[in-house]
Structure 1
Amino acid sequence: MPTGNAPPSVRPMTTGRTDGARVVRPGGAGARRGRAGPRAERFAPYLLLAPAALVIVVLRLYPLLLGVNFSFTGDGERNGVAVGLDNYLELLRDPLFRTALSNVGLLVLLLPVAVAIPGLLATFIYLRVPGHRLYRSVYFFPGVLSPVIVGAIFNLLLAFDGPFNALLGAVGIDAVDWLGDPGVAMFVVVGVHVWATFGMALVVFLAGFATLDAGLLDAARVDGASLLQVIRHVIVPGLARTIQFVAVTTMIGMLTSMFGLLYVMTSGGPEGSTYLPEYYIWIQQGQMNRPALASAASTVLFLVMLGVGLLQIKLLRRAGRED
């Protein structure tokens, strides 16, 4: 017992758990690990994207920059010598390259048709027209054929004495020189390209239909909307992003994937009317041995593709907002 006036000894109270478990106090190692966790989570996406970004930089961006730099050098006797904008000025003076650029404008004008065809076919398949399962396979089949094979087949079909002209003659129409008329040949090649490649766009549209709200279609049918009204007011707004994707990828395919058809069907003729920048680049590099000029044409093609793609996205977004 305490004696006198001495105060009793008081033991300090302990906070925390009393069962022997370790108590984590503010400022301790556990708290530091807790703060490091969110920081690691913030950097995790960049770490996962790093391999893909490295591949893009090494295999895409770096060669592109090398090509742009090479386009400012000369060919032949001036090989490796800086020539400034001489190659680009020569492109502007070359009638074949000007024809190639004008054909790019033609492709832009024909793009809505190239997008509408697989879009309408996907709509009919989605609405389950009779035989829709068969149509899905048939429409995709040309996509697995090589452009060389497709070109060879249509060379036979479109020959002046071929089956197409024979059908025209049977109904009293004069034969058409499909691949020899400068005013017709480019449309024919583009049509064959669309026929051979719209199967992939069809698959993309069908994937887009899987995200479409079926209740909106049912409501439109109940309200008595026609097929055209359903397409315009329900399907097109609902597939706005899908249409943007198909439009951009189709345009890129037209600018970069028609070489095989051009080489087999027309070889750039007649009179250079079916030249595209891609084919012009191959001529300058592979036959004329002018890699610097070909690099300049490649740079112009890249800028054209970039500008057309951005313009398409802007116009499609504006159309989507208006709808």
Structure 2
Amino acid sequence: MKPLGYLRPASVAEAVRTVAVHPGARFLGGGTNLVDLMKLGVETPGVLVDVTRLPLDRTEPTSEGGLRIGATVRNSDLAAHPLVRERYPALSQALLAGASGQLRNVATTGGNLLQRTRCPYFQDVSKPCNKRAPGTGCPAREGAHRDLAVLGHSENCVATHPSDLSAALAALDATVVLHGPEGERTVPVTGFHRLPGENPDQDTVIRPGELITEVVLPPAPAGSAQLYRKVRDRASYAFALVSVAAVLTVRDGRVQHAALAFGGLAHRPWRATAAEAVLLGAPATAETFARAAAAELAAARPLRDNAFKVDLARRLTVDALTELTGRAAA
């Protein structure tokens, strides 16, 4: 029997101090990912530090017209929040596309950002995995990789990041606020998750002992339309094969603003900057959208069984942008 401690701090500062003095401790929010990994033997914390009673469960407008989302706000509450539905519909759509209603009632904003990959080799402790045990290898490269990465992967890891929420936040230019032993800092969500490189065990840039306290959204671009579109093997409770979060503003038939982020294609939510560069100032047409998608996906390096993701991402991008153009023109 492995001993397991459970602590419930009264403040953010106490939570951070508690983790600092307990090596191997983990913050516990909804536990929908962490507890599953503990059951599989992938995660073996000695102490769980419960942060669900901390005052991090509010969603409030900022003075600039954006939105401040506490780290322990439940996914279902965030998806249903009137300001989210009104100003950031892509965020609400992404949350509702993820998991079941029961899980959304428990899962938190901060925990969603920190989800670990669903790669089958990572979740099976009887198999080698560089993400779980650095230096043991990546059997997914030659094994079962149909659902895995086509962008940004390395010889060491081809895992994908599973969060729908994170892809939407990437397109919306969100910022993550962290509190740790050295104080508070902010990180753009587009720089929060890492590509695998030589260190696939490091999912994010979060430092030891740091706690996500909130996510901040800037005001949505004036006149923009947005959506989140997800393709999966089954219509409910499945992770994305490919997803796209898109924000688009069209003026006089031309793209004035474009923000795109893919899910299901890489080790992190993939902000499509090459596609955005093609779109900006160009005619809002299917031809332009296809060129933009091709520019982004030119960097794809599909493996034996997942090349279909490249064409799927291209088609999904064109469809999503075409739909948004119709809304903007309405």
**Which one has a bigger Cα radius of gyration?**
1
Bigger helix share: 1
Taking structure 2 as the reference length, what is the TM-score of the superposition?
0.22
Higher relative contact order structure (alpha carbons within 8 Å, sequence separation ≥ 6): 1
Bigger strand share: 2
